Structure 1
Amino acid sequence: MDNGFIMLSRKLFSHRIWKASRTFSECEAWIDLIQSARFEATVTIERIGGRDITYERGQYPASISFLAKRWGWKSEKKVRNFLDMLKKEGMITTDAKQGMNIITLCKYDVYNTPNNDQGEPKGKGEGIDIVKKIRDLEHALGKLTASIGTSVGQGEGNNNKKVKKEKKEKNNTEDSNESPVCGTSQPHAEHIDYSELVKFFNEKTQGVFGSIRMPLSDKRKGMINARIKTYGKETFAKMIQMALNSDFLKGQNKNGWRASFDWLIKPTNFEKVISGNYDNKNRTNNNAGDRDMEEFYRSIASGIARQSYEEAKR
């Protein structure tokens, strides 16, 4: 089947022609990042440079100096420029919070989705069946909506009152430690299962926007409560789904910036997300040349990972 992907067997990387001492081209360096990233869906902890480094599927811990030596590049600046280019193209993100440079390949699961003739993903392994993941996400989203209740329809005449009330709540919650959800001034506030919300957010976003922990601070509870009171509970759940669908909010932008949970629930940001300001259809690439290079790199990555999956099945 001709699907436009370049199929590369991982056996190539153990062959003498790949292991031969040489200076890597940028294309070879990209291929090396793809084949070096962790393929397994489980999180692993590895002792590197005297530190316990935690990384997961689609990630690769590697310092700039290590990559310069591995690729035969005399200048570490060349490595930095290359990684910066990949980040600009939305191909990778980097994080050094653990004291080690962790490279994350964006959309790694897309690279690892072998398609059949009907265009449906094959395989039932974790991290492989994207359609199953989407269905699970939709199911979990439905559970979240149910857990925080059914939104009560509000007339347009009540909308301005709710916005004014939210501004008052915002001043009370962001400038103090008191949470409106627990305050006596809101005796009819509906119950929100914060524990279920945190569980959903952490499990289904898989750390894309960072993780949150219980117990939530009064400030966070107040912000969540204010958004739900203004827009309704179903819209709050919809906002999370729309954020997950946005490549830009997940780090595929020029600076590699990612949204956080606290950023998403701020009044202005929340409204922008549900208004579709960050939808993929509203984002454009810089020029045709950049799109061609990105597609070329993605094709190579898909070919490596897809062939690896086929070999694993055998």
Structure 2
Amino acid sequence: MSTAEVINFYDAKKGVNMDNFKKGYIALSRSVRRAEWAKCAIKRTLWENLLLDASYKSRSVNFKGVNWELTRGQLVTTREILASQIEIGGKPVNSTLIRRALEFFEKQGMISRVGNRLGTVITIMNYDAYQSYFCDQSNDQKNDQPNDQCKANSINTSNEVNDQRCDQSNDQKNDQQNNKVLEQESNNKNNMSSDDDQSAPKNENSIDFDLVMDAYNDAVENRLPKVVKMTPARKNAVKKLLKELEQPTFQNLAGYFYDFVDNAKPFYFGENDRGWRADFDYIVKTTTYLKFIEGSL
């Protein structure tokens, strides 16, 4: 008789695997790694959060004092709540970034939205196709996964009822947390001061210039020339521009890029006699920024 010890990988005392198992799970296709949009950390994190927060079955949710009837694959939320779930440099991202990402997902047919002043119901399109259970041995072999993975998946399926009960509890906790975020957001707006911001860059090393470049490229899409390299001159221009912002944070800088693309006149997108278009070097000039916020651009 074998005396080999059978190790229980789902023992709560042996790590976080058990905790994750209790909270349920979602399916996430490996193809997301090949998607161009997934290179944007904000979009990819937001997409995963939407999948995690979407209801696995029809239910009633109390949100902002109102009962919302959600079907499978839906969630009710606000941009402020979604922004609070993603941090850069220890600060929640600007809700403008969330708005643009949601608009992108909607344009791609990934989600649909219906909302009012209290909240927005987001529907994950083809939710069942994303979350349906399957065990494809051929795909597992192609991806060099152990054959025992299918057995593990079967164990997960047999415990689906328990997972769903835990998911219900988690849904209620998420609803309570969302309401707290809304209250916090309201308090922040009433008590905000410039002294509260501790994320101002103190030196060049504290600025992630690659992240700045990615935010600009994501904002302009194909409407303006993209940036492929952050030269010393461009880095200096970014540092000068940050000093002009109300709060010198990456979130506000990225928000400016999006606002420029959304609100600048057609002239700056090539609709002029010369066919000239604004570019990164032009947009990050302090003179351009000041004219833009003053409405004289």
- The two structures share one fold, judged by TM-score above 0.5: no
Output the TM-score relative to the length of structure 2: 0.32
Structure ranking higher on relative contact order (CA contacts 8 Å, 6+ apart)? 1
